[in-house]
Amino acid sequence: MNTRSTLSLITAVVLLTLAFTSIFVLDETQQAIVTQFGKPVGQARTEPGLHYKIPIIQKVQFFDKRYLEWDGDANQVPTKDKKFIFVDTYARWQITNPLQFFIRLRDERSGQSRLDDILDGETRNAIASHELLDIVRSSNRKPEVAEEYMEDLENLDNITVGRDKIEALVLKRANERTADLGVQILDFRFKRMNYVDEVRDRVYDRMKSERNRIADQFRSEGQGEASKIQGNKERDLAKIQSEATREAEMIQGRADAQATSIYAGAYNKNTQARELYSFLRSMEALEKSFDGKTSIILSTDSELYRYLKKGNQ
C-alpha cells in the first residue's frame, strides 16, 4: 500500500468518525442543548429524531422531558397554634425550558437540591401560618357518628382554609420562585403528617384516658342493667313462689275439707264405719308413737287400751 492510499484511508476514517460524532439522536423522552466550551449554543433541541452538532468542540447535554419525582424529607414544623408536627411531602415537576435550566442549574441533581430549598421553605411557611385543623382537614363536612359515645365529634370546630387550599398555596408560591429556573412544579401534596414523639405520647395518653372513660361508662351501664335484671328476676321469682304456695295451700285446704267431709259422712251413716275409722286412727297413732324401745302406760278407759284388750281376747 503506497503513501497516497494510506492517507486516503486515514482521511476516510477521520471523516467517517467526524460524521458519526456530529450526529446525535433524541428519543421521545429526552430534550437537549448543545454546548461549546461549556456555554450553550443555539436553542434547545426538543423534537425527537436526528440532530447535528460540530464534532469535538461541541457537546450535548441531555435532560428528561418526562414528569420527575421530588420526595421531601420529613421535617419538624410548628403550626400556628403551637403544635409541633412532622410533615412529609412530595411533588412532581418537569423541565420546561432546558436552556434556562442549564444556565441556572446545570443538571437534574442541582435541580432537585434547589427544589429542596424552595418546597421545604414554602411548606414551613404554610404550616406555620395555619392551625392544625386546617392542615389535616379539607372540608367542614359533618362527621358520621355511629355510636352515642362519639357525639363529641359533632362539635368539631369549622376550618377556614383546609389542606387542599394550603397545598395549592404552596404550589403557587413555589412556582413563582422557580419561574426563572426553567422548571415547573406540576403537583404538590402532603404525604404524611404526625405529631412529634413527645406530643404524640400525650395524645395517645389522652386517647387511652378517653377510651377508659367510655369503657367505664359502658361497664357502669352494664352493671346497672345487670342489677335491674337481677332485681326483676328475684321479684318475679318471689311472686311465682308466693302464688304457687298460695295455690298449694288452697288445694291442700280443699282436699282436707273434702276428706273431712267424706270422713264425717261415713262416720255419721254407719256405726261399723265409725268403729273402723276410730280403729284406723288409733292404729296410725300407735304406729307413729311406738318403736321397739318405747314403753307406755295406758289407763283402762283409754280408747287405745280398749282396742288392744279386744285384740288379746
| Mean pLDDT, each 10-residue run in order, the chain (313 residues) | 66 65 87 90 89 86 94 88 89 94 91 94 93 85 60 65 92 94 95 79 78 85 88 88 88 82 67 66 69 68 66 54
Q: How high is the pLDDT of residue 269?
A: 63
Give per-residue burial for 100-139: e unless 16+ CB within 10 Å, then b: bbbebbeeeeebeebbeebbbebbbebbeebbbbbbebee
CA–CA gap between residue 98 and residue 44 (Å, rounded): 6
Look up residue 236 and give its amino acid.
D
Q: How high is the pLDDT of residue 152?
A: 52
Q: How high is the pLDDT of residue 112?
A: 94
Q: Between β-strands 39-45 and 183-195, what pairing exists: parallel, antiparallel or unpaired?
A: unpaired
Question: For residue 47, what is the DSSP state?
Answer: S
Question: For residue 147, what is the DSSP state?
Answer: S
Q: How high is the pLDDT of residue 171?
A: 96
Smallest Cα–Cα separation from 33: which of 22, 25, 45, 17?
45
Question: For residue 304, what is the DSSP state?
Answer: H
Classified as helix, coil or strand, 197 is helix
pTM reported for the whole predicted model? 0.61
Q: How high is the pLDDT of residue 128?
A: 92
C-beta of residue 24 within 8 angstroms of C-beta of residue 53:
yes
Helix or strand holding residue 136 (H, E): helix 132-136
Q: How high is the pLDDT of residue 20?
A: 66
Q: How high is the pLDDT of residue 18?
A: 65
Q: How high is the pLDDT of residue 258?
A: 83
Going from N- to C-terminal start, the domains of the chain cover: 3-64, 68-195, 283-313
C-beta of residue 123 within 8 angstroms of C-beta of residue 89:
yes
CA–CA gap between residue 2 and residue 12 (Å, rounded): 16
Q: How high is the pLDDT of residue 277?
A: 67
May I ask the CATH class of domain 68-195? Answer: alpha beta
C-beta of residue 253 within 8 angstroms of C-beta of residue 247:
no
Strand-pair partners of 139? none
